[in-house]
């Protein structure tokens, strides 16, 4: 998520343009001509490829039957997210992405857990049916700007325009299902400014930070990614974990990682907005309790 470039056709023309904040690439077929998300990156020298951490072997993986779901936290401000030992929040940025987001949904369903998806507006415009599928499966849907721009490099007005455009695009994708995005937002590349954060707070938008970066955007195999993610989670003990639902390696390693976490007694916490109202149901939010 911290470097840039773009993107893909249905057959994934991955030409990562290093250094460009969200340069669009042509897409074949009927999809819109521009998509944007953070590209893959080469693993930096010195970054451990596969931490030494015990993982379940394929023959040890249980038949998924739930058992990993934790509590639900209603969030009005970031301070509401108080996690105990072995509690994590799963978040996925940059989607939706055909062929990948759906497989991530299946893995989450197998373990009965809910995640938070921070969607890019252009991706929701391109694949609205997948965006709706995420919401209809009970996951929380937030936003991640319109085209994954580095907001810290923009003026305040342009940055807010990016944020609002992303909210509008995701809202338009969800509206046919009678749903709307949660007032949750994550800065692309985690690049924020105090002024933008204050502006979002004034609009009652909660910035979802990341405590544990899986670095799944590095070009490694799925097993090294699984080992790195598990190592970082167990080292910290709890927190909000950052993944992306646009990488094949993330899709491949997720079932094994969920099994590892279940075996270690972790619970996946579901974040939902504290307030609803406004006509459409918020994606991922449970029904309001009776007065």
Domains and CATH numbers, the chain: 66-280 (3.20.20.370)
Interatomic CA distance for residues 96 and 102, integer angstroms: 9
- Cα dihedral 127, 137, 1, 166, rounded to 10, equals 50
- The kind and range of the H/E element at 242 are strand 239-244
Which residue blocks in the chain are alpha helix, DSSP H?
Answer: 101-110, 121-126, 128-136, 156-174, 194-202, 222-236, 248-263
Q: Strand, coil or helix: what is 241?
A: strand
DSSP tag of 44: P
3-state DSSP assignment of residue 70: strand
Q: Rounded to whole angstroms, how far apart are CA atoms 241 and 229?
A: 9
Burial tier of 213 (Cβ tally within 10 Å: 0-12, 13-18, 19+): middle
Gap between the Cα atoms of 266 and 172, Å rounded: 35
Chain center to CA of 240: 10
- In the chain, how many H helices and how many E strands? 7, 11
Which stretch of DSSP H or E encloses residue 104? helix 101-110
Lookup result for tokens 């105090």: 194
- Count Cβ atoms within 10 A of the Cβ of residue 168 and give its class: 0-12 exposed, 13-18 middle, 19 or more buried: middle
Burial tier of 77 (Cβ tally within 10 Å: 0-12, 13-18, 19+): exposed
- pLDDT value at position 63? 55
Q: What mean pLDDT, rounded, does the chain reach?
A: 82
In tens digits, what is the pLDDT along the chain, a chain of 291 residues?
443 333 333 333 233 323 333 333 333 334 443 455 555 566 555 555 555 555 555 555 555 567 899 999 999 999 999 999 999 999 999 999 999 999 999 999 999 999 999 999 999 999 999 999 999 999 999 999 999 999 999 999 999 999 999 999 999 999 999 999 999 999 999 999 999 999 999 999 999 999 999 999 999 999 999 999 999 999 999 999 999 999 999 999 999 999 999 999 999 999 999 975 444 566 666 554 443
pTM attached to this predicted model: 0.79
CB-CB contact of 108 with 91 (8 Å): no
**In this structure, what DSSP letter does residue 288 have?**
P
Query: In DSSP terms, which residues pair with 218 in a beta bridge?
Result: 41
**C-alpha to C-alpha distances, 188 to 55, 142, 229, nearest whole angstrom:** 31, 13, 20
Q: Can you give the pLDDT at residue 154?
A: 93
């Amino acid at each position: 998520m911290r470097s840039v470039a773009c993107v893909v056709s249905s057959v994934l023309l991955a030409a990562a343009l290093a250094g460009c904040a969200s340069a669009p690439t042509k897409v074949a077929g009927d999809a819109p001509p521009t998509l944007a998300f953070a590209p893959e990156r080469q693993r930096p020298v010195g970054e451990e490829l596969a931490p030494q951490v015990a993982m379940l072997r394929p023959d040890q993986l249980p038949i998924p039957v739930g058992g990993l779901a934790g509590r639900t936290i209603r969030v009005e401000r970031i301070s509401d997210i108080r996690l105990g030992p072995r509690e994590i929040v799963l978040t996925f940025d940059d989607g939706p992405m055909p062929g990948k987001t759906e497989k991530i949904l299946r893995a989450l369903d197998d373990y009965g857990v809910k995640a938070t998806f921070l969607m890019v507006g252009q991706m929701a415009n391109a694949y609205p049916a997948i965006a709706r599928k995420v919401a209809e499966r009970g996951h929380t849907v937030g936003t991640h700007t319109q085209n994954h721009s580095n907001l810290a490099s923009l003026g305040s007005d342009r940055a807010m325009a990016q944020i609002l455009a992303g909210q509008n695009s995701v809202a338009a994708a969800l509206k046919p299902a009678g749903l709307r995005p949660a007032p949750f937002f994550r800065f692309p590349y985690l690049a924020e400014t105090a002024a933008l954060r204050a502006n979002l707070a004034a609009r009652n938008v909660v910035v979802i930070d990341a405590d544990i970066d899986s670095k799944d955007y590095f070009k490694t195999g799925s097993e090294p990614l699984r080992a790195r993610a598990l190592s970082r989670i167990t080292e910290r003990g709890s927190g909000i974990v950052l993944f992306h639902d646009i990488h094949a390696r993330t899709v491949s390693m997720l079932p094994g990682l969920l099994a590892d976490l279940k075996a270690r007694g972790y619970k996946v916490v579901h974040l939902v907005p504290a307030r609803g109202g406004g006509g459409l149901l918020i994606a991922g939010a449970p029904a309001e309790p009776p007065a």
